[in-house]
Every structure is written in C-alpha cells, then in structure tokens.
Chain A
Amino acid sequence: MSLAIEIAGIRMKNPIMPASGTFGYGEEFSQYFDLGLLGAFVSKGTTLEPRAGNAQPRIIETPCGMINSIGLENPGIEVVIKEKIPFMAQFGVPIIINVSGSSIEEYIQIVSMLDCVCEIAGLEINISCPNVEKGGMLFGSDPKTAHEIISTIYNATDLPLIVKLTPNVTDIVEIAQAVVSAGADAVSLINTVLGSAIVNDKIKTGGLSGSGIKPIALNKVYKVCQNVNVPVIGMGGITNLDDALGFIKAGAHAVAIGTANFSNPLVMVEVIKGLEDYCKKNNTTLEKIRGTIQSY
C-alpha cells in the first residue's frame, strides 16, 4: 500500500519526517534504524556561521512537553555542505535543509550556497528567528516582513521552499498567505510556542514543544489548510499514529515528528508502519483521508 506523496515537487515515499532540531543531520539516528525508511530528512537549523548556541540550562521538562532554548547550535553551512549533506545523501531520501538567519542578507548567502548543492531536494526556511536589524522582531511575526524575506529568497534559488511558521503571532493564516503569495511552495507548522518555566528559582524562557501543544498545533494546521492552496506539513505534539492521522485528516499532506523522538527513537518508523497497516486494513489511501475531518 503506497504512502507516497509529493510536496513542492519533492517526491517522498511516505508523509513522515523528523521536525528540524530533533534529528541533527541523521548520523546519530542512523545507529537506531534504517534512515532509508523515512519520507524526508529535515536537518537541524543551519546558519551561515557556526553557532555555539545558548548557555545552560537549555532544556526544561514541563508537563507533557519541554521548553528548549538551544540557540541554534550548529556547525555552519560550510561544514553542512562538506560533511553532513554527503552523509544524508547515502539513503535515497529527499534532504530538506532548514536554514536560519539574523538578516535577509544572511538568508540569501546561505540559500545561494545551497542552491548549488545537487543532493538536496528543498529548503525549509525558519522565519521564527529574530531580525537583528529590526530590533529582534521575528521575521515571521509580521506578514509584510515575512513576505519580503520569502520573496527575496524565492528570487535567489530554484530550490523548493517550505516556510516554517511560528504560532506566536496574532493570525497565522495571514502569515501563511503572505509567504505563499511571496513564492513558498509549502508551509510547515507549527514551530515551538513561546513559554517559560521556573527552575532552581530562576525563570527560563524558550520554545515549548511536546504533546501538550498538540491542540494548538492542530488548530493552526486546520486553519491554515483551509486557507492556503499549497501543501501543509503539520507538526506539534505528534507522538503516535492517531496523532498523525488526525493531522492528515485536518488537511496536512505530511507530518513531522519532533519531541517524541527523544522518548522513543523509533517513533517515526513505528508511525510509518502504522500508517501502512491502517491504509491496508481500511482499504484507503492518504489522498482519500486527507482533509476529511468534520467539524462540530
């Protein structure tokens, strides 16, 4: 029973992929299962220069989730092109590189370098980063800025563009529509939810993820699917087959699994197997179930 889908011209054998930041560049997970089973690879957020990331504490467990403030620790685009992409290219799985920047110029530089890398299938543009030229306002928090950055990136590359949306905005549909009109081939959502926790008598703020945010993610995915005409990759608190099916029924073309990888390194392959069994048992296909959820 085929689970194959196509997003932004990228053919995937199934709709399951890791959420950026929970998979590294695949090397660690390759010891745990055959990476060739995944629908796509989505890399750790990569920046122009290497980044050391934030000081400790970086992660805090919260009820049904976690707060992270990793700070985009990554080896930088040159190392990713030279070492990480060749590793990922061994498995016959489309490679999507997640890119982050602190200015439009930085995004363009990274994208221009990746444009020449034939092994990659697409880019996921993280616009949840602070724009240091505009006082740290998130690129993705304003439809005008989001449109500006995506249209600039669109003109700098032929690679398919998936734009990752933050939920920490008043109207995510507005942002989604802005990036689609700027040239995005697909959108992925949601990124983490702004949250805080107190540990050792001090407050720490970061991005909340995990099963606790699933209702927020499902709400946003459902709304965006109703209001854009490009594929949506849904994520946020997905931990099992039922969750994945729910997002697909809400309209998602594909789903990404993130935080759940930490408590079960095999969750992605288990969901893939579960989807295969579900479609076989119910004599159905992803196309038939996508977007079929009824609303109260």
Chain B
Amino acid sequence: MNKLETAVMQGMVVSNKKVADNTYEMVIRAPDLNVANFLPGQFVCIPPLRSQDTFSRPFSIFSADADISCFSILYRVVGENTKALSLMKQKDAIRFWGPMGIFPILPANGDLDVWLVGGGIGIAPLHFFLQRFKGEAKVLYGEKTFAQLVLDPNNPNIPDIMVATEEQSVEYKGLVTDLFAQEFDRIGDQKTVVITCGPIPMMKKVAQICESKNALCYVMLERVMACGIGVCLGCSIKIKNGMKRICQDGPIFNSKEVIWDELSN
C-alpha cells in the first residue's frame, strides 16, 4: 500500500491529568508529526471512542512542544466520549488527524497589542496563542466558578492575566465580558487585535465592544462536526462573504464577517 497516510496519526498518551473541575489536559506524543508547524487556533480530530458513536470530536491545541514531539489538548467531560477520553492512561495509543484550521493573516505587528479574551473551555486555543506569542498578550479569562479555572493568575509565564468568575475571584466577580468592557475602555489610541473564544453570546459582546472602538477582533467558532476534514459540510455556516466550513475555512473568523443570527441554533 502507498505510504501517504500520514495525516492520520497514531499518537501515544503521555499524560492525562485533571487540571480543574471536570477539566483535563491530555498530552499526546506524535513523533511523526512536526508540532512546530502547529498554528494557534488549529485543532485535531479524535475518532469516537465508543463503537456506537459516529462523529469525530475536534479538540483545540492547548500547547505544543516540538523538542519532545508532543502537543496537548484541554477538554471538559460533557458526555460519554469525553468521559471515555478522561479514562485513558499513560502509554495508551490514541488515533487522531490534523492539525486542521487556518490562521488569519494578522496586520504586521509593530505596535499592535494582543488581547486574548476567553470564556470557559474557550481558553484552550487562546492558551496556545499565548504560548506562540511568548506570553506577550493581555489575557482576560472567565469561568463560572473558581474551581473551573484552568489558568493560574499567579503563573509567572502569564504576566498579564485577569480572571473573572461569577462565583468569586481574586480580581473580578462577574462576567468576563464586563471585565473586558471595563479594561478595554482604557486603550485610548493604542492599536489592538482581540482574539476571543467562548460561548456565542460572550464572543458577540466582545465583538460589539471592539467595533465600538474600531478595533480588530477575531472570533473562534465551533459547530458540531462529523469529520473535521471538510467533506461532511456539517459545520458549514453562512458568513458575510458566503458559506464557510468552520473546520477548513476557520475556526478563526474576523468578527465583521460573522452573521450572529446564523449561529443562534
């Protein structure tokens, strides 16, 4: 058989640890894959772990370390497949394909400040952005409860982070969108790009705030996918310049392209 089957990988679970309430980070080793080429916002697909399930599941890249050919995914247990994922052990084989997704062409950096605004598990791809930007970004991160926080506000590798929880917080009690509104009000004339990922209403609010300041904003969209490859068309959505597949044409979109009503289902 021809040996071109390289984008479907057999990786190995290096670790699979609970990092917050109902939340796990799985580190996967994939020696045949050059993880140095992974781009922030990209994801991998993992086939269903139960025989009665049909859809592959997409997981954003949370971090990558090319020196040891490893990357990690962050996930919350929300159903039987993620439950099965959480039970996988060190040295278990894990099949996946990817990375999928494209990275937008950002304006030349220069004087551009990067803000990463994450809600809930949406922090996963933003963490990889932070890694690639070598920590030079302002992070605003919200969860419902303190126990769900994945990022430690005292982590020295994340020098500029503010967290918000609805329950209690070190810095801010309330929604991350309100925290963002408060902080973003101070940017003055500073040129910024905001990248946001989280529930749709949260990203819509962030996009509206950015628009009021004429700031560049990218949102990370997600839909149920069957394949992640771009053939099932299950994740196809209408944006202002036509139909786009979130898996191949996204998942990052300029917020000005998004038709928010299309995402209400």
Instruction: Give the docked Cα–Cα distance between A23 and B8 (Å).
Output: 16
**Most chain A CB neighbours (cut-off 10 Å) among B1, B8, B226:** B226
In contact, A24 and B8 (Cβ under 8 angstroms): no
Instruction: Give the docked Cα–Cα distance between A73 and B47 (Å).
Output: 25
Q: What residues of chain A lie closer than 8 Å to B242, measured between beta carbons?
A: 52
- Out of A29, A73, A264, which one reaches B233, CB within 8 Å? A73
**Most chain B CB neighbours (cut-off 10 Å) among A33, A59, A210:** A59
Of all chain A residues, which has the CB nearest B225? A59
Instruction: Give the docked Cα–Cα distance between A62 and B226 (Å).
Output: 12
Tell yes or no: A63 within 8 A of B by CB. Answer: yes
Known: A34-B4, A263-B55. A59 touches B224 (CB 8 A): yes
The interface on chain A, measured as residues whose beta carbon lies within 8 A of the other chain's beta carbons, has a size of 42
Query: CB-CB contacts of A61-80 with B at 8 A, as 1s and 0s?
Result: 11111101010010000000
Instruction: Give the docked Cα–Cα distance between A56 and B223 (Å).
Output: 9
**Most chain A CB neighbours (cut-off 10 Å) among B5, B54, B236:** B54
In angstroms, how far is the closest chain B Cβ from the Cβ of A262? 4
Known: A55-B262, A265-B8, A265-B97. A34 touches B233 (CB 8 A): no
Q: What residues of chain B lie closer than 8 Å to A262, measured between beta carbons?
A: 54-56, 226-227, 229, 231-232
- Out of A63, A200, A259, A265, which one reaches B229, CB within 8 Å? A265
Tell yes or no: B154 within 8 A of A by CB. Answer: no
Q: What residues of chain A lie closer than 8 Å to B225, measured between beta carbons?
A: 59
Tell yes or no: A53 within 8 A of B by CB. Answer: yes
Tell yes or no: B237 within 8 A of A by CB. Answer: yes
Tell yes or no: A261 within 8 A of B by CB. Answer: yes
Tell yes or no: A31 within 8 A of B by CB. Answer: yes
Q: What residues of chain B lie closer than 8 Å to A200, measured between beta carbons?
A: 265
Within 8 A of B (CB), among A36-90: 36-37, 44, 52-53, 55-66, 68, 70, 73
Tell yes or no: B17 within 8 A of A by CB. Answer: no
> Could you tell me which A residues sit within 8 Å of B by CB distance?
21-24, 28-29, 31-34, 36-37, 44, 52-53, 55-66, 68, 70, 73, 200, 210-211, 259, 261-266, 269, 273
Question: Can you name 20 A-B residue pairings with CB atoms under 8 Å?
Answer: A21-B232, A22-B232, A23-B231, A28-B248, A32-B97, A44-B231, A52-B243, A56-B262, A56-B265, A58-B234, A61-B54, A61-B226, A63-B52, A68-B232, A261-B231, A262-B54, A263-B55, A264-B8, A265-B97, A265-B227
Sample of 20 further A-B pairs with CB below 8 A, known A44-B231, A61-B54, A264-B47: A22-B231, A28-B248, A29-B231, A32-B5, A32-B7, A32-B97, A33-B4, A34-B4, A56-B262, A59-B226, A61-B55, A66-B55, A70-B232, A262-B227, A265-B97, A265-B227, A265-B229, A266-B5, A266-B8, A273-B1
